[in-house]
Amino acid sequence: MSIIQQIVFVIAAGFAIWLFAKNISKIRRNILLGKDEDYSDNPSARWRNTLLLAFGQKKMFRNPLVAVLHFVVYAGFVIINAEMLEIMLDGVLGTHRLFAPMLGGFYNFLIDAFEILAFGVLLACAVFLIRRNIIKLKRFISHDLDGWPRSDANYILITEIVLMALFLTLNASDTLLQQRGYSHFAEHPTGNFVISQWMHPLLNGMSNEGLLALERSTWWLHILGVLAFLNYLPYSKHLHIILAFPNAYYARLEPKGKMENMQSIQNEVLYAMQPELAPANAVAPDKFGAKDVMDLSWRNLLDAYSCTECGRCSAACPATQTGKALSPRKIMMDTRDRAEEVGKNIDKNGSFTDDGKSLLHDYISTEELRACTTCNACVQECPVSISPLEIILQLRRYLIMDESNAPQEWNTMFSNIENNFAPWKMSPEDRDKWTETV
């Protein structure tokens, strides 16, 4: 590799890494717009969740075939890019297969394993494209994916197929040049690799100069493609490749059916029952629940950015499946979109300037929130432990407690609970009288 190519490579890699770090810092800033919340308890259980749910994809294995395909794509893509270390060092130092003489026969074993995984990724991505665009599974054609989200998924799958094809073509042209003893390729011969060797008959008719041009172009396209993919992640649902790990670590450990009560409301009930405990200077909170993303916790916003848009939550939601307006997937996508909009507002003005919008009403409607049955099916099905229900509950609390916006049937029930400590319109003293008629 010439010194000019080395310089170009260093500049391209440095710029790509700088741009990625800049975009990730903005996403981190957007996530931390949420309220502080402590998730430092039980680290051993949290690390176990990270290994089982994020890397092991435990929840995906309810459907073994799809789980295996997804695991091949996920693990394969991550593991194959371990070879990026060698490619990066070759680019910086101007060397060729730097690790081959160091690792000896083990090097061939590694590249063979990488090629098998690359071929598996290529096939799995093709299957996923067929499921999305030919078979058209219901959860992939719903209207909450209209526009960019549906295209985003296809672009990523096509990109992964292209990158894997480039990787295999690179190895095929490289090993063929080794066989011919051409230039520096003969210095550290590795022999053929398990998958790319089957491409040799397609390339044998090319001249040495043509093969060299193919090897160099696939090398550059592969490395530039990976760097471009890296910088596409912050704008894509595939950011979950990175955020699935912290999201699984910070997932709530309590039983899914346990709701997080508002301490101020608990105190009000306590003081009603035991007035002597009420402090003389008690101050009511300024706001109940959440109206905008700043009122949610940072963990809720991490959930939104970690969403894979796979639709398993909406496929399990009884409200979605019976034609209601609610889609848990849309709740997460809307929350992320609002956080992005707030972040751009901050970038433009230095600090957030009221734009007359909010997550509630402008992004998520009252009809969607009222359709939720709080059954936790969405939480149970999410492969990366996202909880749309937490966001729904916070928005619904604001809707009812701050805006007094609830159907009359709900208001009657609330009034009965407040006055009679039960949903029924009867005093606590009369509640047991039904037993006298039995």
Largest CA distance in the chain: 101
H helix and E strand count, the chain:
19, 0
Alpha-carbon span 366 to 331, nearest angstrom: 12
Torsion of CA 155, 159, 162, 167, to 10 degrees: -170
pLDDT at 13: 87
Are 291 and 395 contacting, i.e. CB atoms less than 8 angstroms apart? yes
pLDDT at 1: 58
Instruction: Give residue for tokens 């395909």.
Output: 69
pLDDT at 340: 96
**What are the Cα distances from residue 425, in Å, to 411, 414, 419, 429, 430?**
12, 11, 9, 12, 10
Q: What is the pLDDT along the chain (438 residues), one digit of tens a residue?
A: 578 878 888 898 899 999 999 999 999 999 999 999 889 899 999 999 999 888 888 888 888 888 888 888 877 777 776 777 888 888 777 778 888 888 888 888 988 988 998 999 999 999 999 998 999 888 888 888 888 888 898 999 999 899 999 999 999 999 999 998 888 787 778 889 999 999 999 999 999 999 999 998 998 898 899 899 889 999 998 898 889 999 999 998 888 778 888 877 777 777 777 877 777 776 666 788 999 999 999 999 999 999 989 999 999 999 999 999 999 999 999 999 999 999 999 999 999 999 999 999 999 999 999 999 999 999 999 988 899 999 999 999 999 988 989 888 888 988 888 788 788 888 777 777 777 776
pTM comes to: 0.85
pLDDT at 46: 94
pLDDT at 348: 94
Phi, psi (degrees; rounded to nearest 5) at 63:
-120, 90
**What are the Cα distances from residue 151, in Å, to 54, 147, 182, 230?**
25, 7, 43, 18
Are 300 and 394 contacting, i.e. CB atoms less than 8 angstroms apart? yes
Alpha-carbon span 116 to 215, nearest angstrom: 20
Torsion of CA 185, 189, 194, 199, to 10 degrees: 30
